[in-house]
């Protein structure tokens, strides 16, 4: 079985060198924009070419992060950046935005696209979407269990990448709006403020000094590499683009040794020493092993730091080189170097007749001096018997090796110019809505559905396994089944498929691309806010994929919603009232701190350090697990503003508030988000 790829992070050039020199097979890093770690130094301008060439010269792949959601005005620039990456021969781009991924596939053939973990892919349906959309690899959600990985690999050719070490987001990736709603810094757009790492409590009316109920421990899969390889993981990814070079060097080296079958006895303790948030977990790989209440700490010893620094010093020779030096008397000295079938040459001064025989061993030693490069001398052939100074041999060697390196990485390919017309040709607008918008009301029980007079009734059952489709009789509006963002097991998916096949629903609301095939043939196939539609390209891609309608991201402002409505009004529903779901939790903090108490859809609430109270809702499954949603402390209400805006859309989505007296916000409707 082929050894999986080890994929290490790099937030700057120093970290990139640390990853490469400690055994990474591939490195992932970003430019200044459009990546989920905009707080890192990243790589811009000539430094991007330098970084990619540095990797390629050492036989390492370069994966570039383009993994943020994009607004309409950013699509062209992001696609131009992707075109530049193709010209620089990047090995892959990692993408979250569905529209950008589709545009790259159509406009930039040959550029490999990987689905970011921000897409939240966690089932075979997600892999089928990747295959259909031209994405060759999926970075799976961190919550996917081993058995599901095995099932996905057995039934799809799409490569599987998985995080093996580092920070674990409390929320399901791509489904977190906490930072965006709490402080206008969007995690989906690369500026997460990490409010989850601050004080929060599920036990008290106010968070205590040392309570961090949304801050989980880090993951460490060191002991699971063999099982995960057998299950089908082809690339193990280390988290840490905001971490130090010492961290990158240490973690990369330890996982390299483990994958090579030479793990150190002290490996785990050294990983803990370089950085930890309490005892490591394996996330949900073999059941929920997550614990919260942790803060980050690093107390590396001088010995560990010295080892990390030493590992970065100098270059690792990884490319064999053959040298042919011609010292014919009376002619110019000539040196030709060859590596992997690629050659380069340099000339020196005229060779003189030697006063004594040339010391071939000494000349060979000069040719061996390849420090600071990835080359090592495999073979040297010296002919002619003439003499040139040692300084001339050194100069020729440096010049020839520099030229060889340039030949190996090659010149950039021509960039494809990207125009606005290229993007507009991709779009499939549906036009403005012509009638008054329908009301789409989301409810949790059949009783609430019967009490509503909305045209569309979205049902989000707390216990889908127990819902009797016959209980929906008498509902005045057209019933739509709402799928949660995460359906992690076959049993959970079957529970919803049973309801969709019952004939009781005329539509489905889908909140993760992994479920895009469910409910085909129904009158309404609505892409919910979990699908993160922020631009017309992502709206187009969903409509092309069989959806009839979509609800744009809650991170869009009034102006951006209005612009989207001008092209897609007949397919668009705007959220105008209700609590925004801030997090989707596979680990229940209430269960951790006080155990299950039959919460039946209402799991209690969480209080942060500012005494704000956040309701917790859940979906319970017969298999014994729950998906818990952390809801916003405030109710978003833009009904009046929407009515006066004249925005022509198919409908507006609302969720009734069951906690009267809650604070009210206009959300992002009235403000800009970077």
Same domain as 341, residue 307: no
Report the pLDDT value the prediction gives residue 593, as an integer from 0 to 100.
87
**pLDDT(418) > 70:** yes
Domain identity same for 288 and 344: no
487 and 525 together in one domain: yes
Residues 329 and 283 in one domain: no
Residue 591 lies in a domain: no
User: Residue 479: is its pLDDT beyond 90?
Assistant: yes
pLDDT, residue 39, reads 60
Q: Do residues 301 and 355 both lie within one domain?
A: no
**Within a domain: residue 192?**
no
Residue 623 included in any domain:
no
> How does pLDDT run across 238-289, given as a tens digit for each residue?
999 989 999 999 999 999 999 999 999 999 999 999 999 999 999 999 999 9
Assigned domain for 9 exists: yes
In the three-class reduction of DSSP (H, G, I as helix; E, B as strand; rest coil), residue 29 is classed as strand
Residues 363 and 448 placed together within one structural domain of the fold? no
> What are 219's strand-pairing partners?
166, 281
- Band of the pLDDT at 211, cuts 50, 70, 90? confident
Which of 380, 409, 438 terminates a domain? The answer is 409
Contacts of residue 627, defined as CB under 8 A and 6 or more positions apart, other chains included, come to: 484, 485, 486, 488, 584, 585, 586, 618, 619, 621
Q: Is residue 609 part of a domain?
A: no
* CATH code, domain carrying 277: 3.20.20.70
**Mean pLDDT score of the chain:** 93
What mean pLDDT comes out for the span 559-584?
Answer: 96
Residue 597 has pLDDT above 80, yes or no: no
Q: Is 644 exposed, middle or buried (0-12, 13-18, 19+ CB in 10 A)?
A: exposed
- Picking from 530, 501, 502, the residue whose alpha carbon sits closest to that of residue 515 is 530
Tell me: do 121 and 244 sit in the same domain.
yes
Place 672 in a pLDDT band, splitting at 50, 70 and 90: low
Q: What is the CATH number of the domain that holds 565?
A: 3.20.20.120
Residue 75, pLDDT score: 96
Range name among 3-7, 310-314, 372-376, 530-534 with the lowest pLDDT average: 310-314
Write the burial class of residue 137 (CB in 10 Å: 0-12 exposed, 13-18 middle, 19+ buried): buried
Assess whether pLDDT exceeds 70 at residue 598. Answer: no
Q: Do both 458 and 377 map to the same domain?
A: no
**pTM of this structure:** 0.95
Q: What is the domain extent for residue 507? A: 427-579+636-670
- Say what the pLDDT of residue 36 is: 57
Which backbone phi and psi does 40 adopt, to 5 degrees?
Answer: -75, 165
pLDDT value, residue 100 = 97
pLDDT at position 674: 52
Mean pLDDT throughout 313-329? 92
Q: Are both 328 and 301 inside the same structural domain?
A: no
Q: What is the pLDDT of residue 190?
A: 81
242 and 325 part of one domain: no
Average pLDDT over residues 435-464: 94
Please check the confidence at residue 644 and state whether its pLDDT lies above 60. Answer: yes
DSSP 143-194: T--HHHHHHHHHH--SEEEEEEEE---SSPTT---HHHHHHS--GGGT----
* 305 shares a domain with 432: no
Same domain, 305 and 360: no
Domain count, the chain: 3
Confidence at residue 37, expressed as pLDDT on a 0 to 100 scale: 63
* Tokens of residue 87, six digits: 């010209």
Which pLDDT score, from 0 to 100, does residue 519 have? Answer: 97
86-121 pLDDT, tens digit per residue, is: 999 999 999 999 999 999 999 999 999 999 999 999
Mean pLDDT value across residues 329-347:
97
How much is the pLDDT for 474?
A: 86
């Amino acid at each position: 079985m082929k050894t999986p790829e080890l994929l290490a992070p790099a937030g700057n050039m120093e970290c990139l060198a640390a990853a490469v020199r400690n055994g990474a097979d591939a490195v992932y890093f970003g430019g200044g924009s459009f990546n989920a770690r905009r707080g890192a130094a990243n790589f811009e301008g000539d430094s991007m070419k330098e970084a990619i060439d540095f990797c390629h010269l050492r036989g390492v792949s370069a994966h570039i992060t383009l993994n943020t959601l994009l607004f309409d005005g950013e699509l062209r620039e992001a696609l131009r950046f992707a075109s530049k990456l193709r010209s620089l021969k990047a090995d892959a781009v990692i993408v979250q935005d569905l529209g950008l991924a589709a545009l790259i596939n159509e406009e930039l053939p040959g550029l490999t696209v990987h689905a970011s973990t921000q897409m939240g892919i966690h089932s075979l349906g997600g892999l089928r979407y990747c295959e259909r959309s031209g994405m060759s690899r999926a970075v799976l959600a961190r919550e996917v269990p081993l058995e599901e990985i095995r099932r996905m690999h057995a039934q799809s050719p799409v490569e599987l990448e998985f995080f093996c070490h580092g920070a674990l987001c409390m929320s399901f990736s791509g489904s977190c709006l906490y930072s965006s709603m709490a402080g206008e810094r969007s995690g989906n757009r690369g500026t997460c403020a990490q409010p989850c790492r601050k004080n929060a409590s599920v036990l008290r009316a106010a968070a205590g000094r040392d309570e961090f109920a949304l801050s989980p421990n880090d993951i460490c899969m060191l002991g699971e590499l063999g099982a995960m390889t057998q299950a089908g993981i082809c690339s193990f990814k280390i988290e840490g683009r905001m971490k130090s070079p010492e961290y990158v060097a240490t973690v990369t080296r330890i996982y390299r040794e483990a994958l090579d079958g030479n793990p150190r006895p002290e490996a785990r303790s050294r990983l803990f020493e370089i950085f930890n948030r309490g005892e490591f977990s394996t996330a949900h790989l073999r059941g929920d092993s997550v614990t919260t209440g942790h803060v980050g700490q690093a107390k590396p010893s001088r010995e560990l730091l010295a080892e990390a620094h030493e590992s970065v010093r100098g270059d690792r020779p990884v490319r064999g080189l053959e040298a042919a030096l011609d010292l014919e008397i009376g002619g110019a000295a000539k040196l030709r170097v060859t590596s992997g079938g690629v050659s380069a040459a340099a000339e020196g001064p005229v060779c003189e007749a030697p006063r004594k025989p040339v010391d071939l061993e000494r000349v060979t030693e000069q040719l061996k001096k390849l420090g600071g490069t990835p080359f090592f001398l495999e073979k040297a052939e010296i002919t002619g018997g003439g003499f040139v100074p040692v300084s001339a041999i050194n100069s020729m060697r440096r010049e020839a090796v520099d030229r060889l390196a340039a030949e190996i990485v090659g010149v950039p390919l021509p960039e494809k110019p990207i125009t606005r017309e290229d993007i507009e040709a991709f779009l499939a607008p549906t036009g403005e809505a012509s009638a008054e918008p329908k009301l789409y009301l989301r409810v949790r029980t059949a009783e609430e559905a019967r009490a509503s007079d909305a045209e569309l009734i979205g049902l989000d059952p707390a216990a889908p396994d127990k819902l009797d489709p016959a209980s929906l009789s008498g509902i005045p509006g057209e019933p739509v089944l709402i799928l949660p963002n995460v359906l992690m097991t076959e049993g959970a998916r079957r529970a919803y498929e049973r309801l969709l096949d019952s004939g009781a629903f005329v539509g489905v609301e889908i909140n993760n691309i992994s479920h895009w095939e469910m409910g085909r043939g129904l009158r309404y196939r609505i892409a919910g806010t979990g699908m993160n539609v922020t631009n017309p390209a992502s709206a187009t891609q969903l409509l092309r994929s069989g959806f009839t309608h979509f609800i744009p991201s809650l991170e869009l402002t009034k102006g951006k919603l209005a612009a989207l409505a001008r092209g897609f009004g007949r397919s668009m529903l705007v959220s105008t009232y209700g609590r925004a779901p801030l997090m989707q939790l596979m680990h229940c903090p209430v269960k951790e701190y006080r155990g299950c108490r039959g919460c039946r859809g209402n799991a209690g609430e969480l209080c942060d350090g500012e005494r704000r109270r956040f309701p917790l809702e859940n979906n319970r499954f017969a298999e014994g697990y729950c998906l818990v949603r952390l809801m916003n402390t405030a109710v978003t209400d833009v009904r009046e503003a929407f009515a006066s805006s004249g925005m022509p859309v198919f409908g507006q989505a609302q969720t009734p508030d069951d906690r009267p007296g809650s604070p009210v916000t206009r959300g992002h409707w009235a403000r800009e988000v970077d």
